[in-house]
């Protein structure tokens, strides 16, 4: 008799204060909490993922998060995460966080994501990253996202859709019309710059909720195949924000969208 075995995580589970992953390649694995790794952060945690590649990873298709990484920071006092020079290809998550799912209740958090090459990364919410923090009026939660190259393929997107089972009409509508490459909730400061987006299919670049912003910057956004583009950026519930800066951001986004439409 053969029994089907479901793994909690694809390659391993870590209970850590410090974790460094460098010059590694991970592929062909599945897990219910992280297609590659489930990380449980402890005390003052530092995590670095450098110069590595991730191919053909996914959550098992039930109610699971983190196509590559599921990072649980609810027990940490502070959290520093660096994801730098990483290549990500063919990563699926059933629900949140195609590559990274992160949740934390700490008020001291720094997330640095830069020099990332993404291809065919999908999730219902946050195809690359789903970052959910607890809201503190005096929190020091900063997210920096720089130098991102993103490209999707229609055929792979259809393969992802075909793995969805027993969806309601509302779920189908959300899957087709309300997905985001980055989902960020309750960060104090978000800085994003140097984006090149090619063929973003039925998806927006950002949704940013419940946050107090000091700066958001889109320096370069290129959209070479934009006929399936949803709204570029959704920003909700801004508090204590400099209205002059907000006006400049909206003007910049309008100029970006105008240039896209003229291509």
Q: What is the pLDDT of residue 225?
A: 45
Is there a domain that residue 7 lies in? no
Three-state SS across 55-104? EEEEECCCCCECCCEEEEECCEEEEEEEEEEEEEEEEECCCECCCEEEEE
Longest Cα pair distance anywhere in the chain, in angstroms?
68
**Which of 40-44, 179-183, 217-221, 229-233 bottoms out in mean pLDDT, i.e. has the lowest?**
217-221
Judge contact between 235 and 215, C-beta under 8 A. Answer: no
Question: At residue 105, does pLDDT exceed 80?
Answer: yes
Is there a domain that residue 3 lies in? no
Distance CA 108, CA 122 (A): 29
Helix (H, G, I), strand (E, B) or coil at 119: strand
Is there a domain that residue 52 lies in? yes
28-32, 68-72, 221-225 — most confident range:
68-72
Q: What mean pLDDT comes out for the span 35-41?
A: 90
Is there a domain that residue 234 lies in? yes
Is there a domain that residue 27 lies in? yes
- Count of CB atoms within 10 A of residue 257's CB? 17
Is there a domain that residue 150 lies in? yes
Give the structural domain span for 48: 12-261
Opening angle at CA 230, ends 226 and 233, nearest 5: 110
Distance CA 224, CA 218 (A): 17
Judge contact between 31 and 62, C-beta under 8 A. Answer: no
The total number of structural domains in the chain stands at 1
Q: Within 13 Å, how many C-alpha atoms sit on residue 63's CB side?
A: 0
Is there a domain that residue 69 lies in? yes
To the question of pTM greater than 0.85 for the whole model, the response is: no
pLDDT, one tens digit per residue, over 175-189 is: 777 788 889 988 888
pLDDT, one tens digit per residue, over 20-30 is: 999 999 988 87
Is there a domain that residue 2 lies in? no
């Amino acid at each position: 008799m053969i029994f089907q075995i479901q793994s909690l995580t694809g390659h391993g589970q870590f209970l850590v204060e410090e974790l460094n992953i460098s010059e590694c390649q991970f592929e062909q694995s599945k897990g219910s909490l992280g297609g590659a790794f489930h990380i449980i952060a402890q005390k003052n945690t530092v995590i670095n993922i450098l110069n590595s590649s991730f191919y053909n990873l996914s959550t098992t298709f039930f109610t699971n998060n983190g196509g590559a990484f599921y990072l649980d920071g609810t027990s940490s006092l502070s959290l520093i995460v660096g994801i730098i020079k990483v290549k990500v290809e063919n990563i699926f998550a059933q629900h949140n966080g195609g590559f990274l799912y992160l949740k934390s209740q700490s008020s001291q958090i720094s997330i640095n994501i830069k020099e990332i090459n993404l291809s065919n990364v999908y999730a219902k919410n946050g195809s690359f990253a789903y970052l959910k923090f607890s809201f503190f009026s005096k929190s020091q939660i900063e997210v920096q996202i720089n130098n991102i190259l993103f490209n999707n393929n229609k055929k792979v997107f259809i393969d992802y859709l075909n793995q969805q089972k027993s969806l309601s009409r509302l779920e189908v509508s959300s899957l087709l019309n309300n997905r985001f490459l980055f989902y960020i909730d309750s960060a104090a400061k978000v800085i994003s710059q140097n984006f090149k987006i090619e063929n973003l299919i039925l998806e927006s670049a950002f949704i940013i909720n419940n946050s107090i912003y000091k700066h958001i910057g889109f320096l370069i956004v290129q959209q070479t195949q934009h006929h399936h583009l949803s709204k570029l950026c959704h920003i909700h519930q801004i508090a204590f924000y400099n209205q002059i800066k907000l006006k400049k951001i909206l003007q910049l986004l309008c100029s970006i969208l105008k240039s896209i439409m003229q291509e």
